Amino acid sequence: MNFIIKNAEVYSPAYLGKKDIMIIGDKIIKIQDEITINNNLNFLNFQLIDGSHKYIVPGFIDSHEHFLGGGGEGGFHTRTPEIQLTDITKGGVTTAIGCLGTDSVARNLRALLAKTRALEEEGITTYMYTGSYRIPVDTITEGIREDIMIIDKVIGVGEIALEDHRSSQPCYEEFNKVVAEANIGGMLAGKAGVVDVHMGKGKNGLEYLYRIIEEGILSVKNILPTHINRNQNLLDQGKDYTKTGGFIDLTTSSSKVKSQENQCAASLKYLLEEDVPIDNITFSSDAQGSLPKFDKNGNMIGMKIGQVSSLYAAVRSAVLNYGIDLESALKVITKNPAQIFKLKNKGRVKENNEADLVILNRDDLLIESVIARGKVMIKNKEAVVEGTFE
């Protein structure tokens, strides 16, 4: 289906004003003040979408989802289920990156690769990390460098766990070698080679990342520490880390009783007030990951499941509850991850980019419709495309 969206206010995420958008196939062909269909284009059978009283924004990019589920920290019965297509699209996400977590035994990278391909066949854009929490890193081929180079879907390595009781407790040299291999694989394959780092609440925090900076051999541009909003100490370390040029990722799902959407939005507000560049911040959902709650002795006393819906909920809360302008708030789930992960045709409403769009109701900023690769996935808040087994 080919579309023309009429009379919508467009955020690229930069505000472009009221525009018409032409979509042919999976590409944005034109963005103009007014688009009319001449006789030469009649054969394309355009469907018109009324964008009046709507905002058009880029499809969201979620850089941390557990496609196969996660968990298991409380025994086999606490393994969380696989994600479904509409879990993702209802949250406005059109590009997602999958990972393994604590369990790389009962869940493995070949299964993750299969699920990554399945979700793309169902309509969205997907990538994955090789590896899991532990070092030495599990891979599909001979190593990290080879996985990134040879396997199209592998975009980096992670989530490598540091400062967490579920980590394999690697020494600095082991971690440094992982970063080096991801960096070389990314260079050779023309990919980002990102190392996604799960940060726990250990007292050493971002020490390994600062050591990489001090040594001055490897760049931290391809390292993305996540869960930075876990506590205030880690958030403050993240704040200082961005001043060196590093990127940080805030997690929107949480096992805490209070609203993590508001906590994540509040953390974004705090960082911006502390002069952290907005371009150095991303959000991710940790969807389908287990969110265990432990007592002071390390015993698990409860568990929730991460939700894709928390991603945009945090952005919306940042705008409505914390006074952050929509243009800035959208960057953390659109333009910023697109740049960090070198997704050249993603993250912006731009001519010749892929037609990944979210239509928001202007009055309440709720998601109205979602278009992924030129195909309507969500229309009037209802899924029109479901996963194979939904």
Place of tokens 């060196």: 244
The C-alpha angle 21, 34, 92, rounded to 5 degrees, equals 25
Paired residues of 369 in beta bridges: 359
Residue entry with tokens 């390994």: 208
- Smallest CA-to-CA distance from 29 within 349, 371, 386, 383 is with 349
CA distance linking residue 228 with residue 249, whole number of Å: 6
- Determine the distance from the C-alpha atom of residue 38 to the mean position of all C-alpha atoms in its chain, rounded to a whole number: 39
Set 20, 62, 249, 286: catalytic member: 286
> What distance in Å separates the CA atoms of residue 235 and residue 58, rounded to the nearest whole number?
27
Question: Reduced to 3 states, what is the DSSP secondary structure of residue 304?
Answer: strand
What is the DSSP annotation of 317-364? Answer: HHHHHH---HHHHHHTTTHHHHHHTT-TTSSS--TTSB--EEEEETTT
Count CB atoms within 10 A of the CB of residue 354. 25
Asked if residue 326 lies in contact with residue 312, where contact means CB atoms within 8 angstroms, the answer is no
| Non-local CB neighbours of 304 within 8 Å, separated by 6+ positions | 253, 254, 255, 290, 291
Q: Which of 241, 232, 323, 325 is nearest to 281 (CA)?
A: 241
Q: 307 in helix, strand or coil?
A: coil
CA pair distance 339, 341, nearest whole angstrom = 5
Cβ burial of 270 (10 Å; 0-12, 13-18, 19+) is middle
- Count the Cβ atoms, other than its own, within 10 Å of residue 166: 16
Identify whether 286 is a catalytic site residue.
yes
Strands 46-50 and 2-11, by their bridges, are parallel
Any idea which residues carry the catalytic annotation? 286
